Amino acid sequence: GRALLVLLLSATVSLLGGLIFGYELGIISGALLQLQTDFELSCFKQEVLVSAVLIGALLASLAGGILIDRHGRRRAILVSSLVLLVGSLILTLARSFTVLVVGRTTVGFAISVSSMACCIYVSEMVAAHQRGLLVSLYEAGITVGILLSYALNYIFADLEEGWRYMFGLAIAPTAMQFLSILFLPVNPVKLSSWDSDCQKGLIPLQDREDRAAAKREPYQEKHYSFLDLFRTRDNMRRRTLVGLGLVLFQQFTGQPNVLGYASKIFHSVGFQSNSSAILASVGLGAVKVVATLVAMALADKAGRRVLLMAGCVVMAISVTTIGLSSRMAPLAMARDCNAATGPNASHGLTQHPLTPLLPQSAVSPIPPASGAVKNRAGPGFAATRSLTKVFASTQSKEVVPDSSLTQKRFLVGQSKKGVLESTGPPLSAAPWAQHTVLNWITLLSMMAFVSAFSIGFGPMTWLVLSEIYPAGIRGRAFAFCNSFNWAANLLISLSFLDLIDAIGFSWMFLLYGLMGVMAVAFIYLFVPETKGQSLEEIDQQFSRKR
């Protein structure tokens, strides 16, 4: 009975941790639409507000590892929950732009620490044959959180100061997570042997065979300094290579940018109605949910290596297909920003901050019958787009382009006038309509990419990272790799438009395909299979192997 309770509570903590992360990613999309008029935000201020979360998360990546290792995983989650509650209250009660920035920075710090601590804590709490399922549950929670935030964006879109409710509702799942973890046992880090670990509840769900093996060969807890990550001691350098390789390839295969074209591709295959953008977000969200559930089911059966390699192969084929088809049916690009100039500024079809390149009207004009206003009072175009993508995609969390809210605001602002500016080719000359078969191939390729990422790199990267390091340095090692994840994401996002200008859209995606092939080779050569093994067995396997 106690084992079942611990299992359920571990699953709850993992799911709620992911849900909060996803919710905070998605909610800014709707809030920013109201904030830019309520606070008369310029493009620069919008960029600052969106990137505040990134600053907080980067700080957490640098400092959070020490907190997790020195004070324990459970305490780190409790502290991050309290910090998140404070951040949510600050945002809910904010009366100035400065307070908003402080609130978002606080939230960014909290969810970054929580994301690292949850994965490590759950991986250590459960038996080897359940670890893949429960750690992957975090990824499923993120997807649900993103979709939930989009639904609430839509509900509160027309409510005066609706953004306060959007930010405030994060308090509910945070409080639930805080209460759930209070009932879980403390996860001791510094214990001398497996035998005492079992007695003190570190691994309460391990079966009898595990305990018998543990008593026969006591596992000595070792102490490590941060610099040991780069030394040959216990083969730590190879573990660091595996961790960094996974997080860097996760970004360099193009996932921060591919979803930016979702609305564009949905429009290209004929979804021209008012509900088209909602279809794009919900449709891709549903695909991601299903794929993540498949990954959860297979993580402990097929294994981490198999899912990572299979996902990479499909991703490489998908982006290569998108690259080849776009050579025959190129996409237009829009790269401007029009800030709201006052409380009466038209919202129109506002660029969604988490949907980097693609307000609907910049893609494919809506037929006159729908009365579309081609206005783009969008959040900061370049840095905002890049920085939000950095945040939105970090930890492998893709953000499906939202449009339920932009669509609703669009209908409210129909009677107002606006201008559409674009540096791309004239919209009327868009060649997409002439390539129906290619359009559908591109659409299916993108859905395949989302599915493959959600089965492979999405959940598996963080599962492997929570397994391959010794307990004494696991928190710092995880945080170190996580900071590279953010940095790579920033690099990919900031250089994306410049690279497209330099080498073209199709070559950019063909380059992503090449990176996917290299990722398969890297995983085959360096990443070990860890399914069905206890964390101590994985550690001993790494220590022995050169």
Q: For 43-68, b where at least 16 C-beta lie within 10 A, e where not — what string?
A: bebbbbbbbbbbbbbbbbbeebbebb
Asked if 400 and 286 touch (Cβ cutoff 8 Å), the reply is no
Nearest-angstrom CA–CA distance, 418 and 332: 20
Q: Residue 198 — pLDDT band, cuts 50, 70, 90? A: very low
Using the structure block, give the residue that is written with the tokens 């543990």: 214
Q: For 472-496, b where at least 16 C-beta lie within 10 A, e where not — what string?
A: bbbbbbbbbbbbebbbbbbbbbbeb
Helix (H, G, I), strand (E, B) or coil at 293: helix
**How many CB atoms are located within 10 Å of the residue 345 CB?**
18
pTM above 0.85, yes or no: no
Residue 503 has pLDDT above 90, yes or no: no
User: pLDDT digit string (tens) for 434-462?
Assistant: 667 887 888 888 889 989 999 999 899 98
Nearest-angstrom CA–CA distance, 200 and 205: 12
Using the structure block, give the residue that is written with the tokens 């398969």: 520
Residue 311 is encoded by which pair of tokens?
């996902």
Q: Residue 347 — pLDDT band, cuts 50, 70, 90? A: very low
- Per-residue pLDDT at 308: 95
CA atoms within 13 A on the CB side of 465: 34
DSSP letter string, 51-81: HHHHHHHHHHHHHHHHHHHHH-HHHHHHHHH
- Per-residue pLDDT at 64: 87
The angle at the Cα of 222, spanning 221 to 227, to the nearest 5 degrees, equals 150
Find, among 255, 252, 275, 251, the residue nearest to 263 by Cα: 275
Nearest-angstrom CA–CA distance, 455 and 299: 9
User: pLDDT digit string (tens) for 111-122?
Assistant: 999 999 998 988
User: pLDDT digit string (tens) for 368-391?
Assistant: 333 333 333 333 333 344 444 444
Helix (H, G, I), strand (E, B) or coil at 348: strand
- Per-residue pLDDT at 155: 85
Residue 485 has pLDDT above 70, yes or no: yes
Q: What is the largest CA-CA distance in the chain?
A: 77
Nearest-angstrom CA–CA distance, 26 and 150: 6
In order of their start, the domains of the chain are 1-186 (1.20.1250.20), 229-333+433-545 (1.20.1250.20)
